[in-house]
Structure 1
Amino acid sequence: MSNLQENYAKAYSNKSGYGRRPALVLIDFAHAYFDPDCVLYGDEGCKAALVSALRVREAAHAAGVPVILTEVTYQKGLGGRDGGRFFEKALPLQSFMEGESTARFADGLTPRPDELVVSKQYPSAFFGTSLASTLTAAGHDSVILTGLTTSGCVRASCVDSMSHGFKTIVVADACGDRHKDPHDANLFDMNAKYADVVSEKDIIDYLGSLSGSAAAE
């Protein structure tokens, strides 16, 4: 095991670092993950992630860093056709049908007037949305990711964020999953190949260091 750990450390210990103009993304904090009667209920892993993400959100606003919220939504009358093969495969996505209570934002997360809301039909916050173009046009070079679930939409968004050329930071405490194993495994893998995985304290310290300069540059 020690040889394997040394091998991973040798191969994947590089850090990308923070950018100069970050944006914060809160991915899919939907009521579905907090409703015990919903098949997507995430219990304490998701609850803790939301509490952490809300603290990061406040720090971002204080630093002048833009905040983006994503939601999954499918048109009621289309029966999931706008979700294509993803909706066909993942039956719990019915929880995000337009009008369902489980599709709304989680309690405690009401979008602010100065926050962008991105609606999506697939796992990544970037796939089939205007997010990358919006961030690029505004001159952002880095993306801070929080959200649900670590093994699903957070990971997909992480890979696409990196692929679009953004320095990508994943806040471990502010991401959640229904089970610790996929949460930990995907954080490990994202940190190895696609992003820097940091703690809530690390990201709040970083945002505090910006002192409102992120939006002004």
Structure 2
Amino acid sequence: MSDSAADNYAGVYGNRIGFGKRPALVLIDFVEAYFDRDCDLYADVEEALASALRIVEEAREQGILVVYTKVEYHPSGINGGRFFEKALPLRHLVEGSPMGAWASGLEPAAGELVVSKQYPSAFFGTSLASTLTAAGIDSVILTGLTTSGCVRASCVDACSHGFIPIVVADACGDRHDGPHEANLFDMNAKYADVVSEAEIIDYLKSL
């Protein structure tokens, strides 16, 4: 077995599915908690947001469905279950908290979809899969926070629901480069095609 992950996976994992014909863009949890330095959830993810905003602009230009997700809990946390118990910083995301507001520069437009969730995946416990299926969507372009958490969970569930997952590396962020890079590597190996912002912009323009 090679010491290099790329060599070890070569020829086994890493096949590319390619882009779908009718995509939706999903922006996962770009909320103020990750941008406020006084919040436990703060991460250095401004560049990921900037990338996502550029992608949103192109998606709107091409008439692509744009979906936003945010985590939001009852003030008691009762609807967060074990996730709320385990991940203590989630207390910042109860209903009405300013930490749950959209990050600066991000604002859903009329006709765009907002999904409220209580668990990592954008699909678990929500109507997102049935909504996308009914709209004839065959693929999801995933951006958001954090790469190792809600982005990964959404990626795996997108694959499990039969959508082609496309993860935009530049538009995803995490608390540390280690989990970020490791999860991008693993998603690309097994579940999704991980692409750059430039690749996804070119694809959207082609539509």
Q: Please, which of 121, 125, 128 is the counterpart of residue 131 of structure 1?
A: 128
Match of 1:65 in 2: 64
**What one-letter code is carried by the residue in structure 2 that aligns with 1:108?**
G
Q: Deviations over 1:57-85 (max 9, x none)?
A: 11111111100000100122xx1010001
**What one-letter code is carried by the residue in structure 1 that aligns with 2:28?**
I
SS of the residue corresponding to residue 208 of structure 1 reads helix
Once the two structures are TM-superposed, the CA of residue 108 in structure 1 deviates from its matched residue by: 0.7
**What one-letter code is carried by the residue in structure 2 that aligns with 1:85?**
R
Quick check: 2:31–2:100 contact (8 Å CA) kept in 1?
Answer: yes
**What one-letter code is carried by the residue in structure 2 that aligns with 1:177?**
D
Identity score, percent:
68
Once the two structures are TM-superposed, the CA of residue 9 in structure 1 deviates from its matched residue by: 1.4
Match of 1:42 in 2: 43
CA distance in 2, matches of 1:5, 1:84: 37
> CA 1:49/1:101 → structure 2, altered by over 3 Å: closer, same or farther?
same
**What one-letter code is carried by the residue in structure 1 that aligns with 2:14?**
S
Match of 1:213 in 2: none
Once the two structures are TM-superposed, the CA of residue 13 in structure 1 deviates from its matched residue by: 2.7
Q: Deviations over 1:176-209 (max 9, x none)?
A: 0011110000000000000000000000000000
Q: 2:20 matched to 1:19?
A: yes
Match of 2:182 in 1: 185
**What one-letter code is carried by the residue in structure 1 that aligns with 2:177?**
K
Once the two structures are TM-superposed, the CA of residue 140 in structure 1 deviates from its matched residue by: 0.5
Structure number having the greater helix percentage: 1
Once the two structures are TM-superposed, the CA of residue 6 in structure 1 deviates from its matched residue by: 2.8
SS of the residue corresponding to residue 12 of structure 1 reads coil
State the superposition RMSD in angstroms. 1.0
CA distance in 2, matches of 1:4, 1:94: 36
CA distance in 1, matches of 2:39, 2:85: 18
Q: Deviations over 1:119-171 (max 9, x none)?
A: 00000000000000000000000000000000000000000000000011000
**What one-letter code is carried by the residue in structure 2 that aligns with 1:111?**
P
> CA 1:90/1:16 → structure 2, altered by over 3 Å: closer, same or farther?
same
TM-score when normalising by structure 1: 0.93
SS of the residue corresponding to residue 182 of structure 2 reads helix
Ranges in structure 1 where 5+ consecutive residues have no aligned partner: 211-217
CA distance in 2, matches of 1:94, 1:37: 14
CA distance in 2, matches of 1:4, 1:201: 25
**What one-letter code is carried by the residue in structure 2 that aligns with 1:9?**
A
**What one-letter code is carried by the residue in structure 1 that aligns with 2:122?**
A
CA distance in 2, matches of 1:126, 1:175: 18
Q: 2:98 matched to 1:101?
A: yes
Q: 2:146 matched to 1:149?
A: yes
Match of 2:80 in 1: 83
SS of the residue corresponding to residue 11 of structure 1 reads coil
**What one-letter code is carried by the residue in structure 2 that aligns with 1:52?**
S
CA distance in 1, matches of 2:145, 2:107: 16
Quick check: 2:29–2:145 contact (8 Å CA) kept in 1?
Answer: yes
TM-score when normalising by structure 2: 0.97
Match of 2:155 in 1: 158
**What one-letter code is carried by the residue in structure 1 that aligns with 2:132?**
L
